[in-house]
Amino acid sequence: MNSFKPVKKPRLDIDRESLIIDVRRQLDMPSRRLFGQRILTLGGLAMMTGCTLVDDKSVDTFLTRISRMNDTVQGWLFDPNRLAPTYTEAQITRPFPFNAFYDVDQAPEVDGNSFRLKVSGLVQNKNVWTLPDLYALPKTEQITRHICVEGWSAIGRWGGTPFSEFLKRVGADTSAKYVGFKCADDYYESIDMPTALHPQTLLTFTYDGQQLPAKYGYPMKLRMPTKLGYKNPKHIMEIFVTNKFPGGYWVDQGYNWFGGS
Amino acid sequence: MSTTILHQRGPIIQPFWVRLTHWLNALAVVLMLMSGWRIYDASPVFKGFMISTKITLGGWLGGALQWHFAAMWLLFFNGLFYLAMNIITGRIKTKFFPLTPLAVLRDLGEALKGHLSHADPSKYNAVQKFAYLFVMLDITVLILSGLAIWKSVQFHILRDLFGGYDFARIVHFGAMSLIAAFIVVHLVMVTLVPRSLLTMIRGR
């Protein structure tokens, strides 16, 4: 390469040469050098998230704000006529997994005979509903995929009545923003009105052709194949329509409210 | 002293927008990886394979999801801006092409023997061209498969493209593994050619 025999590989020579230039420049410009150091330190700080950033209250507030912004974006993305895929009976996941914030043997036992569904908020008809009243509503069935926020999914078969039909019967103000649920297991949840009116949103009383067992939410579960599992309340005791954001059991702990798929 | 002045006034190799988008992308990818690993652990795609929570972000599933769905906006819009600028300025053509498989293999062989030259930092060698184009494609696959998982009902075309909800998770994991591998190689190369780090910071 040069007239003399290189002791080291040419690549290293070039690097050393440029390094000398860099070093000379950096010594000339202490402020820029400091700036470069700070940039590198910023990367180091970011890696220490475990002990600083995550526990920071302002970061938490910021992330919650973004999550609420994501609710709005998901509202835009939601197509009220787009149907979730349906499956055949052979594709049903057996056994269908139990999932709740408690163990399966702690699932609440609701007495069907004395059960009365309360309806409140922005509705015209606030009469309570007995189970026979509810069972008399128009029936439909669907085999859809339940997608858990954790990532797993399972296909199940639910039967009940279109929720939009139920909302019509109670004279719900469908221009209201939210429909909320209070459950026998102290769970609570709320959904947006467009999802409540979606044709696949069912108030379900059966699972796989049988009366909904306690582990799957007796006496009823709101089943929405357009939302993640935690958005589907079980053991519903009260349904209310409101414009005041009701939150939800997991949502209040940090899960995204819209939770749509 | 004359060389110093000459060097200072030397041409900008990486324009400001390239450096800005590079570092923003680096930040977004690190946040996405670390939070994504915590989400993965909540229900591993590959049973038995878990990622140590020491290197994850968010503390719990809900926190990790918040980070993931916040950093995704940075990754998406920064990536979109980067691609748009590459096309508008014609950089994609001048910097990354021509590129032939033969040239990649040749330069890869040279690199493994330690002969590959980084003498002219304004030009990428074939391995660099391939690696950077690959990472652009990989991030695109990550974003699209991520959208298919996030909105499997609304983005039904993406869901079908990735072979259904469950398979989209496998694609997402695979693309993540590839970008993690890229980062390892990328960082090794930076330690071997430290000047490239300075170029990516101050442009020269």
pLDDT of residue A6: 47
pLDDT of residue B116: 74
Residue B123 touches partner A, C-beta closer than 8 Å: no
Write out the two tokens for A130. 């007995």
* CA closest to A146 among chain B residues: B165
pLDDT of residue B4: 46
CA angle, B143 as apex, B141 and B55 as ends, to 5°? Answer: 100
Q: Using one digit for the tens of pLDDT, what is the confidence trace for A207-246?
A: 999 999 999 999 999 999 999 999 999 999 999 999 999 9
Gap between the Cα atoms of B204 and B197, Å rounded: 10
**What percent of chain B clears pLDDT 90, i.e. is strictly above it?**
85
**Residue B154: pLDDT above 90?**
yes
pLDDT of residue B128: 93
pLDDT of residue A5: 47
Instruction: Kindly report which listed range (A62-66, A137-141, A195-199, B188-192) carries the lowest average pLDDT score.
Output: B188-192
**Residue B42: pLDDT above 90?**
yes
pLDDT of residue B10: 75
Best A32, A54, A63 residue to mutate vs chain B (most B CBs within 10 Å): A63
pLDDT of residue A47: 52
User: Which chain A residues touch B54 with a CB distance below 8 Å?
Assistant: 50
Write out the two tokens for A152. 């797993």
Q: Which of A100, A94, A140 is nearest to A234 (CA)?
A: A100
pLDDT of residue A42: 52
Best B153, B170, B173, B176 residue to mutate vs chain A (most A CBs within 10 Å): B153
Best A20, A38, A70, A253 residue to mutate vs chain B (most B CBs within 10 Å): A70
DSSP type of residue A94: S
Residue B183 touches partner A, C-beta closer than 8 Å: no
Please report which confidence band the pLDDT of residue B8 belongs to, taking 50, 70 and 90 as the band edges: low
* CA closest to A24 among chain B residues: B4
Nearest-CA distance A151 → chain B (Å) = 6
Gap between the Cα atoms of B75 and B28, Å rounded: 5
| Whether the Cβ atoms of residue A169 and residue A125 lie closer than 8 Å to each other | yes
Task: Kindly report the average pLDDT of chain A as a whole number.
Answer: 88
**Residue B130: pLDDT above 90?**
yes
| Whether the Cβ atoms of residue A226 and residue B153 lie closer than 8 Å to each other | yes
Among the partner residues B69, B154, B198, nearest to A78 by beta-carbon distance: B154
Write out the two tokens for A122. 């922005």
* CA closest to A85 among chain B residues: B153
Identify the burial level of A222 via C-beta atoms within 10 angstroms of its C-beta, where 0-12 means exposed, 13-18 middle and 19 or more buried: buried
**Residue A38: pLDDT above 60?**
no
- Mean pLDDT, to the nearest integer, of A177-188? 98
**Residue A82: pLDDT above 90?**
yes
pLDDT of residue A34: 54
**What percent of chain B clears pLDDT 70, i.e. is strictly above it?**
94
pLDDT of residue A51: 46
Q: Using one digit for the tens of pLDDT, what is the confidence trace for A130-153?
A: 999 999 999 999 999 999 999 999
ipTM confidence score = 0.91
* Record: contact A260-B114, CB cut-off 8 A: no
This model's pTM is above 0.80: yes
- C-alpha count within 13 angstroms, C-beta hemisphere, residue B54: 1
**What percent of chain A clears pLDDT 70, i.e. is strictly above it?**
79
- Mean pLDDT, to the nearest integer, of B45-74? 96
pLDDT of residue B6: 47
pLDDT of residue B71: 98
* Record: contact A49-B34, CB cut-off 8 A: yes
pLDDT of residue A14: 56
Among the partner residues A21, A46, A82, nearest to B154 by beta-carbon distance: A82
- Mean pLDDT, to the nearest integer, of B54-77? 97
* CA closest to B165 among chain A residues: A153
Q: Which of B116, B201, B195 is nearest to A19 (CA)?
A: B195
| Whether the Cβ atoms of residue B12 and residue B198 lie closer than 8 Å to each other | no
